[in-house]
């Protein structure tokens, strides 16, 4: 109540240029406007999407200065006019792709990319008035937003459509992983709808790939094959339920040929989680030519087109993509919270490092060097 309606000055990690070290400095955060929420971020971590934006891999998406970050958990500090589904003190997750509940996408089963609040890497201001809520403390210049959330800050302002309440019984530090990376378990459960006894191949064993593995195991997959060029990821893969591994650098055959041998004809489901066009091609060819489904999860910064000939789709294989595991955040994410509390997913598996917020550049380097799965930062 002491800060409600007032500008808050807090610490944030600000990106000033592509590949430049994030600068920890004081920023001003405006109060929330209509249908907005101001959050106190308690935990945040770094995703490969943050890393890609920090490196400026897509020039069209660059905007500086900017506050990155989108995987986090916190507490509501105050709400703007018209917000009725949450109040100050509520435990919440900011979500990079929202759910307004009113558009034709939100009203349709099986669709989760809200027309107004869907994920948009180009977006750098608030929806309501097209302005920022962050400003430099010295000269009051605007600082751009990122992926509807901007969680590399002690306080942030988010559209209420991009905030999901969490039962206070649930540990926020673990629940924070469900605001992005581990939510991709929904790709296995909702999008692919893996059937018991089926076979699965996962290309890329970062947090996204391991979340898919956890989901496939929970669905009763009979064989899960993990593909990655970094063998250091294989032990965690085994914990997530992966039974066999392929390192493309150490194989004298293509990956899809090895998968065909292991499964006698290809897997029913493959998941591309690496963000590489070559991996997508191999994932597609690794599926069974009668019933194979490939789900695209990796973020591709390059403008390359799909490496698939149209006639290949007549072989019985199909390909689709998934954002946020196909989940409607406000409607379906609470069920995933409960499933985690019941032990269906092992969230501890994904937290490889924990550091104070001030060490965020070290955390970025750990992910960049392939040494971290998720580095949890405590604000």
Which pair of structure tokens corresponds to residue 302? Answer: 């390059």
103 is catalytic: yes
Instruction: Please report where in the chains the tokens 């949890």 appear, as a residue.
Output: 376
**Helix, strand or coil, per DSSP, at residue 306:** coil
Angle ∠(282,284,286) on CA atoms, nearest 5? 65
**Active-site position among 66, 114, 256, 281:** 114
Q: Check 71, 214, 268, 272 and give the catalytic one.
A: 71
Catalytic residue among 38, 40, 48, 145: 48
Known active-site residue 273 = no
The residues, ordered by sequence, that sit 6+ positions from 20 with a Cβ below 8 Å of its Cβ are none
Dihedral of alpha carbons 246, 247, 249, 255, sign? positive
- Which among 44, 100, 132, 300 is annotated as catalytic? 100
374 is catalytic: yes
Question: Is 368 among the residues known to form the active site?
Answer: no
100 is catalytic: yes
Residue of 162, 180, 340, 375 marked catalytic: 180
264 noted as active-site residue:
no
And the tokens for 73?
Answer: 């958990």
DSSP characters over 74-97: EEEEEE-TT--S--TT-EEEE-SS
- Nearest Cα neighbor of 78 from 152, 25, 133 is 133
Distances (CA, A) of 121 to 6, 23, 62, 179, 371: 29, 21, 9, 16, 26
Q: Is 10 a catalytic residue?
A: no
**From CA 215, how far away is CA 312, in angstroms rounded?**
28
The DSSP output letter for 21 is P
Task: Check if 340 is active-site.
Answer: no
Catalytic residue among 57, 103, 312, 362: 103
Active-site residue (options: 44, 49, 156, 294): 49
Report the Cα 166 to chain-centroid distance in Å: 18
Give Cβ neighbours of residue 60 (< 8 Å, ≥ 6 apart).
122
Active-site residue (options: 36, 38, 47, 97) = 47
Tokens matching residue 208 = 């996204």
Q: How many CB atoms lie within 10 A of CB 3?
A: 15
47 is catalytic: yes
In the residue annotation, 118 being an active-site residue is answered as yes
256 given a catalytic annotation: no
Instruction: Choose the catalytic residue: 44, 77, 106, 282.
Output: 106
Q: What SS3 class is residue 325? A: helix
Active site residue 239: no
Catalytic residues, by residue number, are 47-49, 70-71, 100, 103, 106, 114, 118, 180, 374
């Amino acid at each position: 109540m002491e800060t409600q309606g007032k500008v808050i000055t807090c610490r944030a990690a600000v990106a000033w240029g592509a590949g430049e070290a994030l600068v920890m400095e004081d920023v001003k955060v405006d109060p929330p406007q209509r249908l907005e929420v101001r959050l106190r971020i308690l935990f945040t971590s770094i995703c490969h999407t943050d890393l890609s934006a920090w490196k400026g891999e897509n020039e069209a998406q660059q905007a500086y200065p900017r506050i990155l970050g989108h995987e986090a958990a916190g507490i509501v500090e105050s709400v703007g006019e018209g917000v009725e589904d949450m109040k100050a003190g509520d435990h919440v997750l900011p979500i990079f792709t929202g759910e307004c509940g009113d558009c034709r996408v939100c009203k349709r089963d099986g669709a989760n990319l809200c027309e107004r609040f869907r994920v948009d890497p180009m977006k750098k201001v608030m929806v309501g008035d097209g302005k920022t809520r962050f400003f430099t403390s010295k000269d009051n210049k605007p600082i751009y937003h990122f992926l509807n959330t901007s969680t590399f800050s002690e306080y942030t302002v988010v559209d209420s459509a991009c905030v999901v309440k969490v039962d206070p019984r649930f540990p926020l530090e673990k629940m924070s992983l469900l605001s992005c990376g581990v939510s991709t378990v929904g790709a296995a459960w909702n999008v692919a709808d893996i059937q018991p006894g089926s076979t699965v191949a996962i290309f890329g064993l970062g947090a996204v790939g391991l979340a898919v593995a956890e989901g496939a195991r929970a669905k009763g997959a009979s064989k899960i094959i993990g593909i990655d060029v970094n063998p250091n990821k294989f032990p965690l893969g085994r914990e997530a339920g992966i039974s066999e591994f392929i390192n493309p650098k150490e194989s004298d055959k293509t990956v899809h040929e090895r998968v065909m041998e292991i499964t006698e004809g290809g897997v029913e489901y493959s998941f591309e989680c690496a963000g590489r066009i070559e991996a997508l091609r191999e994932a597609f060819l690794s599926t069974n030519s009668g019933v194979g489904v490939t789900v695209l999860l990796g973020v591709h910064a390059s403008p390359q087109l799909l490496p698939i000939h149209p006639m290949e789709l007549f072989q019985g294989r199909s390909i689709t993509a998934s954002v946020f595991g196909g989940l409607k955040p406000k409607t379906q994410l609470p069920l995933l919270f409960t499933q985690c509390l019941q032990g269906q997913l092992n969230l501890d598996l994904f937290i490889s490092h924990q550091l104070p917020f001030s060490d965020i550049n070290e955390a970025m380097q750990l992910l960049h060097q392939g040494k971290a799965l998720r580095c949890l930062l405590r604000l």
